[in-house]
Amino acid sequence: MTLHLLVMGVSGSGKSTIGAKLAQALALPFGDADAFHPASNVAKMSAGIPLTDEDRWPWLDALGAWLAAQTGGGVIACSALKRAYRDRLRGAVPGLRILHLSGQPGMITARQAAREGHFMPPSLMASQFATLEPPAPDEAALVLDITAPPEVLILQATAQLRRIASC
């Protein structure tokens, strides 16, 4: 079974960390959606201006194209906060599996505030949670509680993915 996996969640939920470690554990290529943003998107977010859907469509298309090109499977870390964004990625990569990193707003906001050198300022956290549409049951997402350490989350994710693959 070829695995294409989206690791999603709000900024500060650990997508890049978990996504990279999970890709390594699964021996798959990893892509961080932040690296796919055009300079105009980074400039807007750096200025504290939330992106619009129009800003996101080309970015999501680039992510989908990258992931689809990983014919042996791959892992992408992307906020994918709205169902429409995940649907857009699934359009490029049918069978896309979703891993949602979920946590309480206070915990994630504190994590985000402690980050250095990231273009997403803590002031945009409220918009992240306001935009978040958690995966619906028909999306069959794996949901992990980010209060656990990354090593535990990787073990939980790989165990769930292996269980799904064996069905």
Note the pTM of the prediction, 2 decimals: 0.88
pLDDT value for 50: 78
Distance CA 36, CA 61 (A): 10
Domains (range + CATH), the chain = 4-166 (3.40.50.300)
pLDDT value for 68: 97
Reported as type and span, the H/E element at residue 58 is helix 53-69
Candidates 9, 126, 27, 153; CA nearest to 78 is 9
Write out the chain's pLDDT in tens, 167 residues: 689 999 999 988 999 999 999 999 999 999 999 899 999 998 998 887 878 999 999 999 999 999 999 999 999 999 999 999 999 999 999 999 999 999 887 677 666 666 565 555 556 667 788 889 999 999 999 999 999 999 999 999 999 998 887 76
- Helix (H/G/I), strand (E/B), else coil: 75: strand
Residue with tokens 């958690």: 134
Distance CA 72, CA 57 (A): 25
pLDDT value for 3: 94
pLDDT value for 84: 98
